[in-house]
Structure 1
Amino acid sequence: MQFELKTTDAQSKARAGIITTDHGKIETPIFMPVGTVGTVKGVHQTELKNEINPDIILGNTYHLYLRPTTSILEQAGGLHKFMNWDRNMLTDSGGYQVYSLSARRKIQEEGVKFKSHIDGSYHVFTPEKVMEIQRTIGADIIMAFDECTPYPCDYNYAKRSMHLTHRWLKRCVTHLEKVPSKYGYSQALFPIVQGSTYKDLRKQSAEFIASVGANGNAIGGLSVGEPADKMYEITDIVTDILPKDKPRYLMGVGTPINILENIALGVDMFDCVMPTRNARNGMLFTAHGTINIKNKKWENDFSPIDEMNITYVDTTYSKAYLRHLFIAKELLGKQIASIHNLGFYLWLVRTARKHILAGDFMEWKSKMINQMDKRL
């Protein structure tokens, strides 16, 4: 994997770059649609490629390990072939699921014993096993195994957890060297900065992660309930330390405003389930605010979803039609809303890139945040 930094904004830390893997180029900043179990929920691969058109999507190690299982994925030739996706892919490590399954898991030095949410069966994730699983899944970018701490989090727990994540990283790196990639293309390992919301721990973790010299680096443990200003404060500290010549990935973030603020702080890569999850509940993101499409006010509004007629994807539907689909409980409504929201997120980061390259990013960002920070 290679990363070329094209430019850095003069008034912020916003960056425009290009990541190149064996599956092609990724223009940054980038938003990665989340394809948890080998599908971006509710979106056909044809629509994903031709309408939303992302350079990269994300898969989930924990979920794919449980279903369809690594045995099926290996027989298929990896997740790319299994789901008919010929572009870039990133898999997370399962660390966030460790965090979210707090009632079903036990963390020890060796790894994590957890209970499947599907059938209650017991499984163990170690750093070594997670590397093997991700080799089998076959993503272009894979994540080191980490522990994602909750918010709020006791300082001493956060410190112990951070050091555990660092020790696990060493084991990931060592084991990955012993396990070759399976499908004829390379995989890049990203380690993850932890340390909760404690500045000294985040600095220490960022310095350790930077010293590993990986192809790229991630910031984990944010967007877990902490205030937005605390997220920005921690991100600002960490991006000052992480190498400038490597891509930076802020995991699980977030709202459109979160994304623009963190782009300004030097983050290059984002993922979040919000655009598709909110879409299925009838919440639409636009450049001029959010819309609850189920509200009666849209019943006879035949204008496009975005009031200023910005088209994020090829097909435009009226608010009235989309509301009708939701009220009638037609599955097409959730599908259209998902495509719209993902199209908007990709439009947002791509337009941000254009303004970074043009040199007027901060002026555009301020205008966009004012526009988006309202309900229509």
Structure 2
Amino acid sequence: MFEIKRKDGLGRIGIFTVKNKKVQTPTLMPVIHPKKQEFDIKKFNKEIVITNAYIIYRDEELREEAIKKGVHKLIDFDGVVMTDSGSFQLSKYGDIDVSNKEIIEFQEKIGSDIGTSLDIPTPPYVSRKRAEEELDITIKRAIESLDYRKDMLLNAVVQGSTYPDLRARCAKELSKYSFDVHPIGAVVPLLESYDYRTIVNIVMSSVQHLPRSRPIHLMGAGHPMLFALMVAMGCDLFDSAAYMLYAQDDRFLSPHGTYKLQDLQEMPCTCPICLEYTPEELRRMEKDERYKLISQHNLYVSFSEMRRVRQAIYDGSLMELVEKRCRSHPTLLDAYRELLKYKKFIEKYDPVTKPSAFFYLGPESLRRVEIYRHFKKIKQLPKRSRAILLPSYGKPYNRNIPKKIKGFYRIGNSSKPIEESQFFVVDVPFCIIPLGVDELYPLAQCEVPKNYDLEMKEFLIKKIEDLFEEYEEVLVNELVNERFDLGLSNKYRDDIEIETKIEDLEIVKLMADYQFGEGSGEALFNGNIRVLRSRKTGRIRYIYEDDVLLATIRPPDGFIILTWDGAKKLHENREYPLNRVVVNEEAEPFVKAGRNVFAKFIIDCDKKIRANDEVLVVNKDDELIAFGKAVLSSYEMMEFERGVAVKNRKEWSE
């Protein structure tokens, strides 16, 4: 039903197939009132909408019409129709006159594509006892609904009020059953009070325990200024009644906030409504006519923002968009900072390389996954007793640094020869960049303001101080001390002059360790290795063993791309399951023929694999049958039943 096409962080472009109808996610589902349609929604979205089954059920005329001709014809929509069960009315009025069994069977009877069980939408900040009692009912009803439905896909709503552990418990329990979509409910009161930080913890407590192979629907999040942040948390579907509700109050939605018609002198965007009318013309209209026009503006803006979010995922710049959007309101910025606390979880799903460079847009950028992952990868490199910290002379560091550098402060003491030291370039935002791997993504592919902010300097100083604890001796060049105010002037200063040259063979071994894991450099590049640089760019381009090409370096991101001979050598010298994706017997002949590896045929893989990693594909006997680029992370490979998991690079060769 659901497959991933592109990823960025927890955000993903997906194809959700519902009864042979395809929905591209993330997307917005406009709420359609079954009795009050003001205009044709199909000009905004032809793929999916949501309507309320309980409203239809309790209205005798609507109920008979829906049973007779189906919900699609009732609301004049041919795409996917999701129906809510009446939980909103339950939260608003306290009681409704329908049972869980009745509303599930009714949704099935009227031809709903995706139905919903009658969950209990527990409000925020109620007593824990109430939250637990109502959660038990929600879970029980969700499980019962599996027996009531026939062909209809089924939502199972995650509840638990504002208790993260209850949300997690609910998500874990519902994950055990064959539901199709997981809405996260009862967040509207928090949205209305701008308590976005609490929403982050609610959503992340749920997402961490829900199957990534099922779409996640954040109920009630219909304001476009939220979309980027909520998609970055792993949400795929959103429903919006906001376009109508805000229009009723003469308010215009935008990705940056909300405008009141009474305050507007100029129209806020270039949608058809804003181009055709002026604020004064709208103010002179009758309320009903004005409401229709503002509702359409709100939908134009909402779908435009959702397209912008999807494009950001394709570009690998989703987090930059999140940072921009979250600076439109202090509570959104607070929420974004809360989300960054989950970077360890997000890293499991974030691609290792992206089409877009890393942009530093403020102190929050220092807590992003790319920087967290960089420091994890540094630990994969061979460690020596001494670290030598060098200043940046421009990118790429290894090709711009002087051959000799003089003047160092000494911290600690090592008896090892100076030649047996590790060289690091000190620069923001990645702080400690091993000389030799500096052309790999994202170390070279980043843009930073020339005027360093205080948080940036403090972050870098902390990382350097950590090195003082890790190494017997650290030599810090005087320019590094001066540039970043390290305060080392009272330390012993040595006028020693150090040669900074690193041999190309050492560079490619460091690159392999950084990319594939500790020990990969020696496993892959042992023997009579020749490293060739491009005459035009000066970058390392080809790596041979004797006359056999082992690997090339991909120019945009500096990644090592293996040949068949390189893949064989890495496979022979790396123990199972390192760098491997294991396929079953059924898939083996197709993979050998050069076909891509589909997730449903994977039986095991290295847990460290991330999307866009270069991987080895083997059979159950650990025989190499292919190599290629991972589309999914290891966790998704083992969970998904649809979609490509590894793009095969070449047909099998003896």
TM-score, normalisation: structure 2: 0.48
Deviates more, 1:242-251 or 1:135-144: 135-144
> 2:6, 2:132 → 1: CA distance?
35
Per-residue displacement from partner, 1:6-44 (whole Å, max 9, x unpaired)?
1221xx3111111112362111111111113255x43x2
1:71 aligns with 2:70: no
Describe the shift of the 1:356–1:79 C-alpha distance in structure 2 as closer, same or farther (beyond 3 A): same
Alpha-carbon offset, residue 350 of structure 1: 1.8
Amino acid in structure 1 at the alignment position of 2:275:
Y
Contact 2:46–2:78 (Cα < 8 Å) also in 1: no
1:192 aligns with 2:157: yes
Matches within 5 A, 1:104-143: 105=95, 114=96, 123=97, 125-143=98-116
1:145 aligns with 2:118: yes
Indicate the SS of the match to 2:82: strand
1:284 aligns with 2:281: no
- In the alignment, which of 286, 293, 306 is matched to residue 329 of structure 1? 286
Point out where structure 2 has 5 or more consecutive residues left out of the alignment: 332-654
Amino acid in structure 1 at the alignment position of 2:92:
S
Indicate the SS of the match to 1:245: coil
Describe the shift of the 1:38–1:26 C-alpha distance in structure 2 as closer, same or farther (beyond 3 A): farther
> 2:197, 2:330 → 1: CA distance?
15
Contact 1:23–1:88 (Cα < 8 Å) also in 2: no
2:184 equivalent in structure 1: 219
Contact 2:225–2:256 (Cα < 8 Å) also in 1: no
1:273 equivalent in structure 2: 241
Describe the shift of the 1:216–1:328 C-alpha distance in structure 2 as closer, same or farther (beyond 3 A): closer
Amino acid in structure 1 at the alignment position of 2:252:
L
Per-residue displacement from partner, 1:290-309 (whole Å, max 9, x unpaired)?
221223x52xx4xx531xx4
1:344 equivalent in structure 2: 301
Contact 1:282–1:326 (Cα < 8 Å) also in 2: no
1:25 equivalent in structure 2: 22
Amino acid in structure 1 at the alignment position of 2:5:
K
Indicate the SS of the match to 2:189: coil
Per-residue displacement from partner, 1:97-126 (whole Å, max 9, x unpaired)?
111112xx2xxxxxxxx3xxxxxxxx3x21
> What count of residue pairs does the alignment treat as equivalent?
327
> 1:83, 1:176 → 2: CA distance?
22
1:119 equivalent in structure 2: none
2:196 equivalent in structure 1: 228
> 1:244, 1:288 → 2: CA distance?
29
Alpha-carbon offset, residue 332 of structure 1: 2.5
Alpha-carbon offset, residue 319 of structure 1: 5.5
Describe the shift of the 1:88–1:323 C-alpha distance in structure 2 as closer, same or farther (beyond 3 A): farther
Amino acid in structure 2 at the alignment position of 1:366:
E
Amino acid in structure 1 at the alignment position of 2:220:
G
Indicate the SS of the match to 2:31: coil
Indicate the SS of the match to 2:149: helix
1:97 equivalent in structure 2: 89
Contact 2:87–2:119 (Cα < 8 Å) also in 1: yes
Indicate the SS of the match to 1:267: coil
Amino acid in structure 1 at the alignment position of 2:324:
K
> 1:247, 1:365 → 2: CA distance?
21
1:305 equivalent in structure 2: 268
Contact 2:115–2:155 (Cα < 8 Å) also in 1: yes
2:174 equivalent in structure 1: 209
1:173 aligns with 2:146: yes
Amino acid in structure 1 at the alignment position of 2:241:
V
Alpha-carbon offset, residue 162 of structure 1: 0.5
Amino acid in structure 1 at the alignment position of 2:52:
N
> 1:256, 1:94 → 2: CA distance?
25
Alpha-carbon offset, residue 330 of structure 1: 4.9
1:49 aligns with 2:57: no
Indicate the SS of the match to 1:246: coil
Amino acid in structure 1 at the alignment position of 2:308:
T
- In the alignment, which of 164, 189, 208 is matched to residue 240 of structure 1? 208
> 1:341, 1:134 → 2: CA distance?
29
1:5 equivalent in structure 2: 4
Deviates more, 1:285-294 or 1:216-225: 285-294
> 1:287, 1:173 → 2: CA distance?
38
Indicate the SS of the match to 2:199: helix
Alpha-carbon offset, residue 357 of structure 1: 1.6
Indicate the SS of the match to 2:32: coil
Amino acid in structure 1 at the alignment position of 2:54:
Y
Amino acid in structure 2 at the alignment position of 1:329:
E
Describe the shift of the 1:97–1:288 C-alpha distance in structure 2 as closer, same or farther (beyond 3 A): closer
Indicate the SS of the match to 1:317: helix
Contact 1:34–1:273 (Cα < 8 Å) also in 2: yes
> 1:207, 1:197 → 2: CA distance?
17
- In the alignment, which of 303, 309, 320 is matched to residue 363 of structure 1? 320
Contact 1:286–1:372 (Cα < 8 Å) also in 2: no
Greater than 6 Å deviation, 4+ residue runs: none
> 1:354, 1:273 → 2: CA distance?
24
> 2:158, 2:252 → 1: CA distance?
32
Describe the shift of the 1:38–1:246 C-alpha distance in structure 2 as closer, same or farther (beyond 3 A): farther
Amino acid in structure 1 at the alignment position of 2:203:
T
Contact 1:23–1:140 (Cα < 8 Å) also in 2: no
Describe the shift of the 1:372–1:85 C-alpha distance in structure 2 as closer, same or farther (beyond 3 A): farther
Amino acid in structure 1 at the alignment position of 2:226:
N
> Based on CA coordinates, which of the two structures has the bigger radius of gyration?
2
Contact 1:93–1:144 (Cα < 8 Å) also in 2: yes
> 1:224, 1:63 → 2: CA distance?
21
- Is the strand fraction higher in 1 or 2? 2
Describe the shift of the 1:323–1:58 C-alpha distance in structure 2 as closer, same or farther (beyond 3 A): farther
> 1:203, 1:63 → 2: CA distance?
31
Amino acid in structure 2 at the alignment position of 1:8:
K
Per-residue displacement from partner, 1:177-219 (whole Å, max 9, x unpaired)?
4xxxxxxxx4210111111111111111000111112122111
